[in-house]
Amino acid sequence: MSLPSQPGAPDLRARVLRGLVWVGASQVGLQLMRAVVAIAVARLLTPAEYGLAALALVFSSLVLVFSDLALGAALLQRKTLTELDRSTAFWVTTASGVLFTVLGIALSGPVASLYGEPDAQPLLAALSVTFIGSALGATQQMLMLRDMDFKRVEVLPMLGALAGGAGGVALAATGAGAWAIILQQVIAVSVTTALVWTRSPWRPRLLFSRESARDLIGFSRYLVGHRLLYYLQVNGDRFIIGRFLGTAALGVYAVAYNTMLVPASKIGGPIQRVMSPAFCRLQDEPERIAAAWARVTRLLATVTVPALAGLVVVAPDFVPVVLGDQWAAAVPVVQILAWVGIIQALQSLNVDILMARDRTRTIFRFSLVLTTCHLIAFAIGVQWGVVGVAVAYAVSTTLIEPVQTVLAARALGVSAMVFVRSVASVFQAALGMCVIVFATRVALLDLGVPAVSRLAICIVVGALSYAALCAWRVPEVAAEVKGVLRRRGGGARPLGAAAAAAES
């Protein structure tokens, strides 16, 4: 039984707009909640405890690689889908979840020995259950995304994260140490999967097709390779630091990483969830994808660039005030990784464009080059401690990551300057804001203003100055926001990113 034919442009515009609204609303609450949880747990744990949990989380993030063997992406990209395809994907995904849970438990001892941290073994074993927990809900979640049911796609994981966050803070407060972070992950995955099964109208049938499995895996195999390489890339630095510099140094680096790069990915990730199915539906119309790419990237840059750039300036106050004096060593790492976060956030739509255009081999080949360069950089940088690793990461990111933008532009048949022009004015506004905030902070230091007040004043000055500079240098953003509001109010059709995704 095939799914209904894809909707027309007006329906697609409406779905994308609703998706962006849901993403915006849910992510504000979710990121505030995550920030509160992360800060609370960081204040309750020592750097060594935080670092021990970070070692285990390096291993557990393999869940993102193997949770559905990238079959969900294949379900999303297919123009038509049968019940046989859906059920086959579910059973393959579930079998892989069971397999990797068993392997995770079996390998927890050897992996802990490799780290030189025997205390990590039970943490690794406990985290292994998230393989099967995530796999059981992966197919339903991707089908919701394919149907562009963004309300459920956003709300259910948010409720799971809320449950996990509450459990993590409670456990940290009772002295659970590293277990607080581990069980936070287990609770979040378990609750999310349970809610997905409760709210999803689809149930797997006892159907399986080798032909369907071969077809789906044929598309997803390069994406699995890409995910594995991405895993090595984002965890290689933490593994090297934990192995050669110890858990306390890893704790410092992990806090900085979670402060800069994780929030950036959490902003880009939800936008990917909205635009990825839209891109797949427009896969034969590259000019419309290119228009949406430029506008959505500009909106994304408008949020991420000033936030991360501003944190570079206020990091000497932000870290001790918000995270605590025990994390003072993380200040330079936070400042360096901010640049990495900016570049990575602006690349967030490129993989989805290449996937929609059926360029999965290109994705894999680029990931191979990128991961190799990052790992070499980490191995060199560790000679100078955590700051050296951060600097090496920033250098390799600057040199290699923008190549992905060129590949995406080539797949769409447009110049990469389309991307550059879309974000250039945002960088100008953010740079002006940073100059103003830096001058303000220096003046406040000379006046002897306490760190808490200094941080608050700099944030207010930064927000006001950026708003003024953005209105001057990036007036398109204000026009797009007004267009969206007019549409929701029944007025004229917007010229924003949502409409761009569906208009020729």
- Structural tokens at position 262: 């994780």
pLDDT, tens only, 66-100: 666 677 778 877 778 899 999 999 999 999 889 88
CA distance 288 to 280: 12
User: Considering just the CA atoms, what is the radius of gyration of the chain in Å?
Assistant: 23
Check residue 199 and give its pLDDT: 92
CA distance 257 to 254: 5
Q: How many CB atoms lie within 10 A of CB 5?
A: 8
CA distance 349 to 21: 18
Full-prediction pTM beyond 0.95? no
Check residue 503 and give its pLDDT: 37
Range 189-212 average pLDDT: 93
Range 260-270 average pLDDT: 63
Range 23-39 average pLDDT: 70
Higher-confidence residue of 23 and 277: namely 277
Check residue 157 and give its pLDDT: 87
Check residue 6 and give its pLDDT: 42
Check residue 70 and give its pLDDT: 72
Range 304-323 average pLDDT: 91
Higher-confidence residue of 483 and 137: namely 137
Check residue 136 and give its pLDDT: 93
CA distance 34 to 184: 11
CA distance 13 to 501: 7
Higher-confidence residue of 4 and 335: namely 335
Check residue 333 and give its pLDDT: 92
The confidence band for 206, taking pLDDT boundaries of 50, 70 and 90, is very high
Residue 194: pLDDT over 90: yes
Q: Could you give the angle at the alpha carbon of 81 between the alpha carbons of 76 and 82, nearest 5°?
A: 145
pLDDT, tens only, 95-122: 988 988 898 899 888 888 887 788 889 9
Smallest CA-to-CA distance from 357 within 284, 456, 273 is with 284
Residue 340: pLDDT over 80: yes
Check residue 382 and give its pLDDT: 94
Q: What average pLDDT does the chain have?
A: 83
- Structural tokens at position 47: 């750097």
Residue 163 near residue 185 (C-beta atoms within 8 A)? no
